[in-house]
Chain A
């Protein structure tokens, strides 16, 4: 599984980082540093879904 952030939509709500700061790293200002394609380690898929769903700006998605 891979996840991505659309940086033009990310507003630094930080909610993804609250779910899991390793899967959803944030930069120094609290913006998502997930980038255009980030690998989710095996076993962390459910957490990744939770983090993606927690973004109030809908900036995150699971890549097809």
Chain B
């Protein structure tokens, strides 16, 4: 048996596949992915601190390229992302970034985020009939939030969305010649992004504000982020904070529409939104799989795993592990405690988690409150992708 998580049936209902893997082959070598699939909660948890598993997976690719090209310029930018580094580089970048994500800084953004959410919902409510909640609300929202946080002028916000798509295209690799052309265009777009962020950094160096980019310029002892590192950080925040949050809002809304009893519960008790969002992230979160490179010989549940191989940490499976969660396939908005790992674990645990939670809470709460008659208008189609749990469209009706 070899499991392909990007097969259409597995994309439509990955949870059935995960259940099978957890019970029959929890550390599964998938020929299709040429990677180990780790599916149990405890094994995924342990993997987060297994030093044999590395996040440093862009630099080795870059080192193998002989001639510099447009692609290696952009790859050079991605290679500096903390999410693809190991300690000690990671430790340094994470410390320098952490101040910008402090709880209190994020907490004061609630009002601003509510205003952004409401303006997108206004646009949606102005339309009628069947509409796509993703293209109208869930997709534009996080890009606007990130652009606002970085202090970009409102007029530039649409470009953030394009760059985010282009980053995803380049970061997740191409596939076949048909996409080579799109890839080339994406690289051009990203060079434009690079210039744009450099200009933004220049401005903030001269004229700091209370935005996140200015906060990222703070010193840690006598160390600080260079201009290039700040530009890479801006790109990382856009990449890591856009699609994930889009899917978090969309998947949460879908889960509520499919569980009317739970939706009524939330309507009757809006204060439940905090635990509700944690449960929605556990139940059908935006990230299915995280990737690690194997850099040393190791063993997981008796399987020997060797350097040069890859492992896929299947977060979405761990979050449904019955060894860890009672009735894991039941959506219970009041679940407590809820030690889900939708934000990862250990040293790379999502640094944007407080922001992501706030965005998802506000968006879901406002959707529920402002669209009392919301209904699903068509069966959603899931994208055949490995890393994320993402729908193409979420077509709904509101009366």
Contacts and interface: CB of A to CB of B under 8 A. Distances in A.
- The finding on whether chains A and B are genuine partners in a shared complex, rather than unrelated, reads yes
Interface of A: 11-15, 17-21, 26, 28-30, 46-47, 50-51, 54, 56-58
A15 B349 contact: yes
Contact of A29 (B49, B337, B338): B49
Contact of A56 (B95, B338, B344): B338
Given A13-B345, A19-B103, A56 B339 contact: yes
A30 B347 contact: yes
Contacts of B87: 28
Contacts of B337: 56-58
B250 interface: no
B292 to A, nearest CB: 15
23 contacts: A12-B45, A13-B343, A13-B345, A14-B343, A14-B344, A15-B353, A18-B354, A19-B102, A19-B354, A20-B103, A21-B95, A21-B98, A28-B347, A30-B48, A30-B346, A30-B347, A47-B104, A50-B104, A50-B107, A51-B103, A54-B354, A56-B339, A56-B340
A41 B343 CA distance: 28
Contacts of B103: 18-20, 47, 50-51, 54
A11 B339 contact: yes
Contacts of A19: 102-103, 354
Interface string B57-95: 000000000000000000000000000000100000001
B350 interface: yes
Contacts of B351: 18
Contacts of A30: 48-49, 345-347, 349
A18 B346 CA distance: 11
Interface residues on B, range: 20 to 34
B102 A14 contact: no
Contacts of B278: 56
Contacts, number: 71
Contacts of A12: 45, 48-49, 345-346, 349
B268 to A, nearest CB: 23
Given A30-B49, A47-B103, A14 B95 contact: no
Contacts of A15: 343, 349, 353
Nearest to B45: A11
B363 interface: no
Contact of B341 (A13, A17, A28, A58): A13
A56 B340 CA distance: 8
Contacts of B102: 19-20, 47
Give 9 nearest A-B pairs by CB, closest first. A14-B349, A19-B103, A30-B346, A50-B103, A56-B339, A21-B98, A29-B49, A30-B347, A12-B346
Given A21-B95, A56-B278, A11 B345 contact: yes
